[in-house]
Chains A and B, each alone.
Chain A
Amino acid sequence: MFDLSSRQAKIVFFAALAAIGFFLFFPLYWLVISSLKANAELYRVVPTPFPTMPSLEHFIRALTAGKLPMYLMNSLITSTCSAALVTLLALYAGFSFAKYRYFGRQPVMLFMLSAQMFPFGLLLISIYPLMSELNLLDTRPGLILSYIVFALPVSTYMLYSYFSQVPDELIDAARADGASDLRIFHTIVIPISIPPIVTVFLYSFMWSWNDLLYSMTLIVSDEKRTIGPGLLLTYLNEVNSDWGGAMAASLIASAPIVVAFMFLQRYFIQGVTAGAVK
């Protein structure tokens, strides 16, 4: 796009690259480096740029001494369930919006999408008494249901955008052969829609995995706590700040989502940008 043959252009380009790149990547570098430093090296006023004696002590402690494995397991359970639930709901709703023409379709869809803009914190004010009424406060099902708030609107829209591009002829042909709509959807449409379905699953999984607000409010007992509040309570409470442990635990908690994302990023970005821009 830019012509970088002149020296001046090169300097400006690489200076900008270095500046923004440093801002983006240095904190990540520092996270990794700090997690590998033993406490004696970590708590120094003039920090070393990389660990002189790399040590896995923080990782070992995080995985054996604390409750991190339990928090991880809790997050895995709630995030997987809520992602599956959201994906399932969004699948049928997205297909319905894309391929049927009933009265009120467009307004209903826009309204659902605009709900993404209702502040999550405000919804929580009434979700809390609702869950309390249903005896779902401090339970996994309660948290899983509440997580629908985060991802359902955008997920539905992402799948709607995709299904809109599936040719009607494909469905009409199958219908002419006598297949029912549900059967067509399950045996013809879903198999060609795996990438967007996986994207939506990952999108909603990410919202729940990364959540702090809902989990810290709706879950009280430690044995059901997820990683967001779990990390906060373990490593940065009033009494002690265990930064080495916090860094190691952060890396462990981020690993699953980062790995999944790296494999699926292409679809993911297509889904998110298309869903919001189109």
Chain B
Amino acid sequence: MAVIENNTLAYPVSPHANRGGLKAGQNRIGLLLLLPAAVAFAAVILYPFLSALGLSLFEYTVEMMEPRFIGFENFVKIASDPDVWAAFWTTAIYVALTTTGTLVAGLGWALIMNQPFAGRAVLRSLSLLPWVLPSTVSAFIWGWVFNSRYGVLNAFLMELGLIDYPQAWLSTPEGAMLAVVLTKIWLSIPLFMSFFLAGLQNLDKEQIDAARVDGAGNWAVLRDHILPHLRPVLMIVVVLGVIGNLQQFDTIYALTGGGPVRATTVLSVEVYRRAFEQWDIGFASAVGVLWVAALLPPAFLYLRMLVKGN
């Protein structure tokens, strides 16, 4: 995708760089250079992936020495397991809310950060901070904000007269979902903003000036020029956002542990619990396979964009 092209050119290489590659004959060296990464990839990514897919067809629990082949029995069990269905539903809600929320806030913040004003550079740098914090730290921050007894959120809402007494946010299903969703939106705004800002860099300013001369207002400029220009970036951001949100584990686990009861048990938490708390490896793998299936459509879209971009 050409949108970000300027960025890589900011590195100190010739603008005449040729992407054609070297002449044939050195291919053996090329494969040799790839070998270490390929071995590492096969060992810690590909093999575990295939092995997990395979394990979904086995019964393998903590009491068993060897996995026992049971065909699709795990999937049959899943079909009648309301907990797994609930996890799918919870994941759908979580992904929808976080992706939409981050999209709106991230785009808004990028447009604001694209406008020249005093102190913008500092603000831009600072707004990247949530992105780099350890996930446990983000969970601590939001856990403290949402704290039932001493949390600043309760204090705020009471001050504004919106609630009469402190709410135990993390103990109610809706409150806990709100907390994990806000945490994730907060975490992802920097990344979304960076993508949008990169896309805004090569916006045609003369075209906008011309539109202004013709009497276009801010809203018209946004609707007719800026948003259409950002469309390709928007697609990438949505797809990457969905993939990331489908996979989110750390902040949810640290903040609510998937609770109260199962209110924030998304697929990642479900798989973790089945595998490492109940040690039902076969069943966990089967749920994981369905999780991968949910990831396939956005992953396919993403790859297609990459291939087109190349």
Is A57 at the interface (CB under 8 A from chain B)? no
Interchain nearest-CB distance for B209 vs A (Å): 10
Secondary structure of the A contact surface, majority rule: helix
Is A4 at the interface (CB under 8 A from chain B)? yes
Provide the B4-24 mask, 1 if CB < 8 A to any CB of A, else 0.
110111111110111111111
**Known contacts A120-B249, A122-B49; is-contact A196 B11 (Cβ 8 Å):** yes
Is B99 at the interface (CB under 8 A from chain A)? no
Is A43 at the interface (CB under 8 A from chain B)? yes
Decide: B132 and A236 in contact? CB cutoff 8 A. no
Decide: B147 and A243 in contact? CB cutoff 8 A. yes
Interface residues on A, range: 35 or more
Tell me how many residues of B have a C-beta within 8 Å of chain A.
123
Decide: A181 and B29 in contact? CB cutoff 8 A. yes
CB neighbours of B295 from chain A (8 A):
117, 119
Decide: B31 and A123 in contact? CB cutoff 8 A. no
Which chain A residues numbered 66 to 111 have a C-beta less than 8 Å away from chain B?
Answer: 85, 88-90, 92-93, 95-102, 105-106, 108, 110
Decide: A30 and B152 in contact? CB cutoff 8 A. yes
Decide: A250 and B137 in contact? CB cutoff 8 A. yes
Which chain A residues numbered 252 to 273 have a C-beta less than 8 Å away from chain B?
Answer: 253-254, 257-258, 261-262, 265, 269-270, 272-273
Query: For the complex, what is the distance from the CA of A17 to the CA of B55, rounded to whole Å?
Result: 50
Query: For the complex, what is the distance from the CA of A161 to the CA of B135, rounded to whole Å?
Result: 28
Is B51 at the interface (CB under 8 A from chain A)? yes
Residue of B with least CB distance to A104: B31
Decide: A95 and B141 in contact? CB cutoff 8 A. no
CB neighbours of B143 from chain A (8 A):
236
Which of these binds chain A: B36-44, B68-76, B77-85? B36-44
Is B111 at the interface (CB under 8 A from chain A)? yes
Decide: A27 and B303 in contact? CB cutoff 8 A. no
Decide: B208 and A254 in contact? CB cutoff 8 A. no
Residue of B with least CB distance to A155: B37
Residue of B with least CB distance to A165: B17
Closest 9 CB pairs of A and B: A100-B30, A93-B37, A126-B48, A122-B288, A96-B33, A126-B51, A212-B250, A102-B27, A96-B34
Residue pairs across A and B with Cβ atoms less than 8 A apart, 20 shown, are A1-B114, A2-B111, A9-B218, A16-B108, A20-B112, A42-B150, A45-B150, A45-B166, A93-B36, A118-B45, A123-B44, A124-B48, A146-B44, A165-B17, A195-B11, A212-B134, A212-B253, A250-B134, A261-B128, A270-B7
